[in-house]
Amino acid sequence: MVESSLTASRRRAVVGETRHLLFSVTPGAAWITVFLVLPSLYLMAVAFMTNGPYGLPEMPLSLDAFRQLAGFGFLGWSPGNAYTLLRSLWQTFVSTALVVIVAYPLAYYITTCREKWRPLMLLAVVVPSWTNQVIRTFGWMNLLAPGTPLSDLAESLGLIGPHMGLYPSDFAVTLGLVYNFLPFMVLPLYAAFEKLDVAQVQAAQDLYASPVRAFWHAVFPQTLPGLLAGTVLVAIPAFGMYVIPELLGGGKSMMLGNLVARQFSGGSNWPLGAAGAILMLLATFVGLYAMRRIGRRLGGGEEVVI
Amino acid sequence: MRKRTLNRGLAGFWWLTLAFLYLPLAVVVLFSFNSVNSAAHFADVSLRWYHQLLGNAQILSAFRNSLILAIVSSVIALVIGCLIGYGMYRHRHRRLGWLIVLIYLPIVLPDIVFGISEMAFFVQINRATGLLEPGLGTMIIAHVTFQIPFVALIVYSRFVGLDPTLFEAAKDLYASPFKRALHFLIPTLKPALISAFFLSFTLSIDDFVISFFTAGPESATLPIYIWGAIKKGVTPEINAIASLMIGAVLLAALVSLLFNRPRRR
């Protein structure tokens, strides 16, 4: 008798907890499902439809969009889209590498400074990224336009032709990407440097390791989780970047994001745009997965965000 | 000795990078005081463009739209995100992997894919039913979608940092769940709620790509207006409005510095 009433009360508690779970989680889960999961699924479906006369997707299912993305059009194969894809990969690679080269010594330097200055220094690195992306990029347009001191300097050094200006160009896009993503690399690297185990470095020095070897074997592996986290935070959004190539690239330096966006505005070809978006999603998930795997193997898997 | 040269080199590098980070912003602010409309030639100091701002109805309406969008979306996201954060904490021992994936989705999805899929979806719903006309409404929906995860994660991590026995104590003290929320949950969450609201607000004000694709003809926000002006090449007042926005960010940074002063140990 006592036992059955106990199980009944326990069951009531379980039902109550489940009801609580549903009550608290449903609004948010439903919101994200309806307003993001369904739209993305719809977009993926669009990639497999045919382009209609008004740029809207129409029925017979086909792989036309992917064929077009690979460069096959009415007039046979053209390299335009392939160039855009390769340029996206190249820009992502170069800008991520440059960001690492700049952020690594910077993050180290911050940890060598006195403790009371460090929050201020980190804030100084982060504050520019709080301003609007469009405004930051506009600032670079003003700095790199023809006739500005920087452009004149590049011209007198013979780096660019007369009256060309440093923008619009691939160079301007790379610069904009590095500028935009630098803080995302500095923060995780700083976190890694801050909890660096100095004993390992001292041990290496005691064993007469050269500075280079000491760095390579005692310092670098310890900062690798931060480096990986930063790479995820930089490379993935850089690959899908829209604003910077659109403003600083000026049409000649399109990246995948611009190709996709263009299919939904002027040039209207939704299926092609959706196919490009799928490619971007694939890159995102492959990137996240790879970083997670590498992070796990290094033993610092928990450090890597997401 | 060698260590000192290294450190001096690093210090130089630090100041160079700082110059690199602030140069584009400084140029915008400098040329907002330029008396002529040129990005290459600074003629004279004047407040001409700031005066023009006040008379520009489009900029004023864009400013209003930005504010409405940020406030309304942050409030909605705060309520929904809080509930989800609390649910995640209280039921953290259950298998909630699907929920975690769902919550991280808006964060990991590239902006452009996020914006375009919502835009395509809204357009089709609108064609079929007449609902979800592109405008402030669709923008609010989109912004709430990317704000929810941040609110949920902030609230969740605040709960995780609490002593679990506090919940038992609250249960003993206050009989009704409502009173428990009023006297225990909301006061303990207050710092998390404030920072979640400000983060949502900042994310909304800062967003361009997602707003751009979900906006209607009448609902341009400040970044969208600035984008349009840059694209058309008509930029006299842009430096001025951009400078005001940069000023607001610097102010926010100052405030955050004052509030998060490192405590003495």
Q: pLDDT tens digits, residue range A45-98?
A: 988 988 777 767 777 777 777 888 877 776 667 777 888 899 999 999 999 999
Nearest chain B residue (CA) to A36: B118
| A256 C-beta neighbours (distance < 10 Å), count | 28
The DSSP secondary structure of A7-60, one letter per residue, reads: HHHHHHHHHHHHHHHHHHHHHHHHHHIIIIIHHHHHHHHHTTSEE-TTS-EESS
Residue of B nearest to A110 (CA): B14
Share of chain A above pLDDT 70, in %: 92
Q: Summarize pLDDT for A10-24 with one digit per residue, the tens.
A: 888 888 888 888 888
pLDDT band at A6 (very low <50, low <70, confident <90, very high): low
Locate the chain A residue with the closest alpha carbon to B251.
A127
Token readout for A211 is 């500075």
Segment B72-84 mean pLDDT: 96
The two three-digit tokens of residue A50, written as one number: 């045919």
* Chain A interface includes B253 (CB < 8 A): yes
| CB < 8 Å to B252, chain A | 130
Query: Which one is predicted more confidently, B179 or B234?
Result: B179
**Is residue A20 located within the same domain as residue A152?**
no
Domain hosting A293: range is: 78-305
Smallest Cβ–Cβ distance between A35 and the set B18, B116, B145 belongs to: B145
Residues of A in contact with B84 (CB under 8 A): 24-25, 27-29
Please tell me whether residues A135 and A55 are part of one structural domain.
no
CB B226 within 8 A of CB B211: no
- Are the C-beta atoms of residues B208 and B54 closer than 8 Å to each other? no
Residues forming a β-bridge with A73: A76
Query: Which residue type is seen at A256?
Result: L
Please state the rounded mean pLDDT for residues B198-225: 92
- Asked if residue A73 belongs to a domain, the reply is no
- Mean of pLDDT values over B179-208: 88
B134 touches chain A (CB under 8 A): no
Q: What's the pLDDT at A153?
A: 82
Query: Mind listing the pLDDT tens digit for each residue in B145-189?
Result: 999 999 999 999 988 888 878 877 887 877 677 787 778 888 888
Which one has a higher pLDDT value, A295 or A227? Answer: A227
Least confident of A7-11, A95-99, A247-251, B202-206: A7-11
Q: Which of A197-201, A220-224, B238-242 reaches the highest mean pLDDT?
A: B238-242
A142 in Cβ contact with B235 (< 8 Å): no
Helices (H), B33-135: 48-55, 57-90, 97-108, 111-129
What is the per-residue pLDDT across B81-116, written as a single tens digit (0 to 9) for each?
A: 999 998 998 888 888 888 989 999 999 899 999 999
A59 domain-assigned? yes
Q: Which residues of B touch A280 (CB under 8 A)?
A: 110, 112-113
Residues in A touching B41 (Cβ below 8 Å): 147
- Cβ of residue B242 closer than 8 Å to a chain A Cβ: yes
What are the distances in angstroms from CA A305 to CA A227, A250, B21? 11, 34, 25
Query: Residues of chain B with pLDDT > 70: what percent?
Result: 95
pLDDT interval class at B260 (50, 70, 90): low
- Which residue from A299, A300, A171, A167 is spatially nearest to A229, judged by alpha carbons? A300
Nearest CB to A39; choose among B99, B121, B222: B121
- What are the distances in angstroms from CA B8 to CA A9, A178, A186, B3, B4? 70, 24, 20, 9, 6
Q: What is the CATH number of the domain that holds A167?
A: 1.10.3720.10
From A43, A66, A89, the end of a domain falls on A66
Angstrom distances, CA of residue A174 to CA of A88, A94, A179, A227, A243: 11, 7, 9, 20, 13
Residue A209 within any structural domain of the chain: yes
Tell me the nearest-neighbour CA distance from A184 into chain B, angstroms.
Answer: 13
- Is the predicted pLDDT of residue A301 greater than 50, yes or no? no
Residue B32, CA distances (Å) to B44, B55, B208, B227, B245 in order: 11, 16, 22, 17, 12
Max avg pLDDT among A207-216, A273-282, B174-183: A273-282
Q: B257 and chain A: CB distance < 8 Å anywhere?
A: yes
**Residue B2: is its pLDDT beyond 70?**
no
CA distance A209 to A206: 7
Indicate whether A87 and A57 sit together in one domain.
Answer: no
| CB-CB under 8 Å, B39 with A145 | yes
Question: Three-state DSSP class for A253?
Answer: coil
One domain for residues A150 and A103: yes
C-alpha triplet B118, A271, A39: angle, nearest 5° = 20
Closest CA to B82 of B128, B150, B24: B150
Q: Which of B27, B68, B207 is nearest to A143 (CA)?
A: B27
Instruction: For an interface test with B, give the residue of A38, A42, A106, A127 to mutate (most B CBs within 10 A).
Output: A127
- Residues of chain A positioned with their CB less than 8 A from the CB of B17: 102, 106, 125, 182
Let me know whether A140 and A166 are in one domain.
Answer: yes
B34 bridge partner residues: B45
For residue A42, what are the contacts with CB-CB under 8 A and spacing of at least 6? Answer: B117, B120, B121, B124
- Is residue A71 a part of any domain in this protein? no
Which one, of B172, B191, B94, B201, lies nearest residue A25 by Cα?
B94
Closest-CA distance, B249 to chain A, in angstroms, reads 6
Instruction: For residue A234, give both structure tokens.
Output: 């930089």
| pLDDT at residue number B261 | 59
Instruction: Say if residue A306's pLDDT is above 50.
Output: no
Instruction: Nearest by CB to B119, from A134, A240, A264: name it.
Output: A264
- pLDDT for residue A302 is more than 70: no
Q: Structure pTM?
A: 0.88
* Confidence (pLDDT) at A161: 73
Per-residue pLDDT at A76: 65
Nearest alpha carbon to residue B59 among B171, B180, B226, B265? B226
A156 and A15 in one domain?
no
On chain B, the residues whose CB falls within 8 A of the CB of A136 are 24-25
Same domain, A153 and A191: yes
The pLDDT-based confidence of A132 (bands split at 50, 70, 90) is very high
If asked whether residues A28 and A176 sit together in one domain, one would say no
Structure-model confidence comparison of residues A123 and B179, the more confident one = A123
Of B10, B83, B120, the CB nearest to A43: B120
Interface pTM, i.e. ipTM: 0.89
Last residue of a domain, one of A45, A66, A87: A66
Do A31 and A173 reside in the same domain of the chain? Answer: no
Instruction: Decide if A132 and B206 are in contact by the 8 Å CB cutoff.
Output: yes
User: Does the pLDDT at position B19 exceed 80?
Assistant: yes
The tokens describing A174, both together, are: 């790379």
Let me know whether A92 and A59 are in one domain. no
Mean of all residue pLDDT scores within chain A: 85
Strands A72-73 and A57-58: unpaired
CA distances from A238 to A82, B107, B120, B209, B248 (A): 18, 14, 23, 14, 26
Instruction: Looking at the structure, tell me whether residues A170 and A238 fall in a common domain.
Output: yes
Co-location of A242 and A273 in the same domain: yes
Given pLDDT bands bounded at 50, 70 and 90, which one contains residue A299? low
Residue the block writes with tokens 């080269």: A101
CA neighbor of B147 nearest in space, from B247, B80, B228, B216: B80
Domain tally for chain A? 2
Lowest-pLDDT range of A105-109, A147-151, A279-283: A147-151
DSSP state of B34: B
Beta-carbon pairs below 8 A across chains A and B: 235
CB contact under 8 A, B86 and A35: no
